[in-house]
Structure 1
Amino acid sequence: MLLDHTIMTFLIPLLLGWLLDLLLGDPIYLPHPVVYMGRWISFWEHHTNHGKYKKTKGACFAVTSIVLIFVLAWGVKLWLTDDEKIYILISTVFVFFSLAGHTLRKEVKLVFEALDESLDKGRKQVARIVGRDTKMLSRQEVCTAALETLAENLSDGIIAPLLWYLALGLPGMLTYKMINTMDSMIAYRTDRFKNYGCWAAHIDDIANYIPARITALLIVICGYIYYKVNHLNTSYTLSQLAKFVCHYGNNHLSPNSGWPEAALAGILSCRFGGTHSYFGEDCYKPFIGNNPRVLTLKDMHTSIKVCFRVELITIISVFILTLFIYHF
C-alpha cells in the first residue's frame, strides 16, 4: 500500500508534469509561479536594498523567502494528505511549471535561427535567455552565450529541480525554484547587488553543488555515447573528457556553472567564457576550453540532442531510485 501511495502522489505528478513540459513548454497565457516569485523578490529588493546593513537585510530576506515557500508547500501537502486526487493535480501543475526543458531547447534554437537572419536579431533573441549585455556581442559571442546558457540551465532548470524533488518532494522542488530565482535576479557582482545578494548567491551555490556535477557527468557520458553511436569524430576519449571537465570546471566565477559548461565545451571541442558586460560593468570570466573555433548550427543541434538525453536519463533514474527506496 505504501508503494501504491508513493506512485500516486510522487511519481504520477512527476511523470505528468514532465510530459506536459515536454509537449507544451511554458505557455505565456498561464500565470507562472516563478513570475510571482520574481515579483516577490523585486518588491522586497526595491524596498530594502538601500542604506546601511545591505548584507544583513539581504540575508534576512533570502532566508525568510526560502523558509516561507517551504513551509507553504509542506503545509499544502499535509492539508491535502487525505485528498490524493487534488494533491496529484496540484503537484502535476507545479512540477510542470518547475521544469524548463522544452522552453530552454526552443529558446536556444530561436537564437541560432535569428542569427541566420542577422546579427542584430541574434543579439535580441539571446537577450531573452542571458543576463549579460548583448548589444555589442559578435556572432561567435551570441552562439557562445546561447550554448553556455543551455549547459548551465540544463543543470539549474531541469536536473537540479528533479534531484530536489527526489530528495524532498514538491516542497523541495519549489524551494529550489525560489533559491534559483533569487540567484538569477539579485546575485550579481555589481555595486547594486554584491552585498545584498551575496547570501542568495551562496545558498544557490550550495543547492546546486551536487546537481551541477551530476549534470556534467551525464553530459560527458551522453555526449560520448552520442558521438560513438552516430560514428562522429570526437577530439577526446571518455577519460580525457573527464580530465577536461575537472581541469576547466572551476574556471568560472560560479563554483557550479563551470562544470556543465566545461562538459559541453569538451563534447563540442570548443571554448566558452571570456569577458562579458553586466548592467554596464565588465565582468571577466576565465576561458573554458582552448579551442576558439567558430560555433555552427550543427553544434547547436548536437548540444540539444545531448542535453535532452541527459534530461531523459535523469527522469528515468529518479523513477528507479524512488521505487528502490520505497520498495526496500
Structure 2
Amino acid sequence: MTLFLAMLLDAALGEPKAIYNRIPHPAVLMGRLIGWADNRFNDDEDGYERRREKGVLTMAALGLGALVLGWILASFGPIVEILVLAALLAQRSLVDHVRDVGNALRLSVGDGRLMVARIVGRDTSEMDGPAISRAAIESAAENFSDGVIAPIFWYAILGLPGLLLYKITNTADSMIGYRTERHEDFGWAAAKFDDLLNLIPARLTAVLIALTHRVYQGWPLLVQDARRHRSPNAGWPEAAMARALDVALAGPRSYEGEMQDFAYVNVEGSHDASPNHVDAACTALWRVWGVVLALALIGAAI
C-alpha cells in the first residue's frame, strides 16, 4: 500500500514549488554531495589508474551512505516512507516537462528549442520541428525508465535503502558518468554501476510499453533496435516507444558542435514526428503508469 499511495501522491503533486522553493529537492541534495566529491577527490594531477580508484571508492561510499540513510528513514514508519518515495518518483514532473515541449513547439520552432533544451543534453540551436519532437519523445521513454520504473523496481526489491542506492547512483552517472577527459576515469564506477542497476528496469519498461500498446508482435525487431542503440539500456524503452507511436527515434544528433551519426530506432517509422506524437508519448506514459499502479494495489492486497 505504501507504493500505491506514493505513486498517487507523486501523480497529484509532482514537484510542488511551494515546498521546493523553501527546501532543496532530495535529488538536488544528492547532486550537491556528488559535486563536492568530484571537486574534492577528482584531482587533475592524478594518473588515470589513481582517478579510477578514487572514483570506485567514492561510489562505494555514496552507495553505502544511501543504504544506511534508507534504513534510518524507513525506521520512522510508513508516512515518512511514502513521502520519500513520492519525492523520488518523477512521473508527474516528467510528463509535464515533455508535454511543455509539444505545447511550445506549437507556438514556434524557437520556443520548442528553448523548451527541449531543458530536458536533453544535445545541441538544440539548429533543431527543426521533427528533431525537437523526437528528442522529447526519447527523453520521455528513457526518463520513464530511469525516473519511474527503476525507482519502483529497486524499492520493491530492497525498500527505501534500494531506492536511495539507485537514486544516488543514477544521479552520479548523470553528473560524472561521461567519457570526458575529466570524468572518463573518475566516473567509470558510477557509469558501470548505473548500467547494472538499470539492466532489468530498462527491459521491463520496454515490455510494459509493448504490452500496453499491443506492439509485442514486433518484439524481435524491437530487440534488434535496442541492441543497436549507443546505450546498453536506453535503447529498450526508446525502441518500444518508437513502435508504440510508429515513429523513428534516435538517429544523428549534435553534441558540443559535433554531429554524431547514431543509428535510428524503428527506422521504418515516420521521420516527421510532431507535437501530436509528443502528446501521444505522454499518454503512453500514463497508460503504463496506470498498469503499474494497479499491480501495486494488487501486491498490497496480496
Report the Cα distance in structure 1 between the residues aligned to 2:132 and 2:178, rounded to whole angstroms.
21
The count of corresponding residues between Structure 1 and Structure 2 is: 293
Name the aligned partner's letter for residue 273 of structure 1: A
Contact 1:271 1:288 in 2 (8 A): yes
Give the secondary structure class of the aligned counterpart of 1:191: coil
Contact 1:132 1:276 in 2 (8 A): yes
1:132 aligns with 2:147: no
Compared CA separation, residues 60 and 278, structure 1 to 2 (3 A): farther
**Identical pairs, percent:** 37
Question: Which range moves more in the overlay, 276-285 or 154-163?
Answer: 276-285
* Residue aligning to 1:255: 232
Q: Which protein, 1 or 2, shows the higher relative CO under an 8 Å CA cutoff with sep ≥ 6? A: 2
Name the aligned partner's letter for residue 111 of structure 2: K
Report matched runs for 1:34-183 at 5 Å. 34-49=27-42, 50-52=44-46, 53-78=50-75, 80=76, 87-183=77-173
TM-score of the two chains, using structure 1 as the length reference: 0.84
Stretches of structure 2 that go unaligned for 5 or more consecutive residues are: none
Q: CA deviation at 1:239?
A: 1.4
Contact 2:63 2:165 in 1 (8 A): yes
* Residue aligning to 1:7: none
Q: CA deviation at 1:322?
A: 5.2
Contact 1:244 1:266 in 2 (8 A): no
1:312 aligns with 2:297: no
Contact 1:163 1:318 in 2 (8 A): no
* Residue aligning to 2:247: 270
Compared CA separation, residues 276 and 197, structure 1 to 2 (3 A): farther
Q: CA deviation at 1:147?
A: 0.2
Contact 1:251 1:285 in 2 (8 A): no
Give the secondary structure class of the aligned counterpart of 1:132: coil
Q: CA deviation at 1:142?
A: 1.1
* Residue aligning to 1:234: none
Name the aligned partner's letter for residue 284 of structure 2: V
Name the aligned partner's letter for residue 101 of structure 1: Q
Q: CA deviation at 1:292?
A: 4.7
Contact 2:106 2:275 in 1 (8 A): no
1:201 aligns with 2:191: yes
Q: CA deviation at 1:99?
A: 0.7
CA RMSD of aligned residues (A): 1.8
Contact 1:23 1:102 in 2 (8 A): yes
Contact 1:166 1:318 in 2 (8 A): no
Report the Cα distance in structure 1 between the residues aligned to 2:227 and 2:293, rounded to whole angstroms.
27
Q: CA deviation at 1:122?
A: 1.0
* Residue aligning to 1:191: 181
1:289 aligns with 2:266: yes
Stretches of structure 1 that go unaligned for 5 or more consecutive residues are: 1-10, 81-86, 225-236
Give the secondary structure class of the aligned counterpart of 1:250: helix
Compared CA separation, residues 189 and 283, structure 1 to 2 (3 A): farther
Contact 1:162 1:315 in 2 (8 A): no
Report matched runs for 1:198-237 at 5 Å. 198-224=188-214
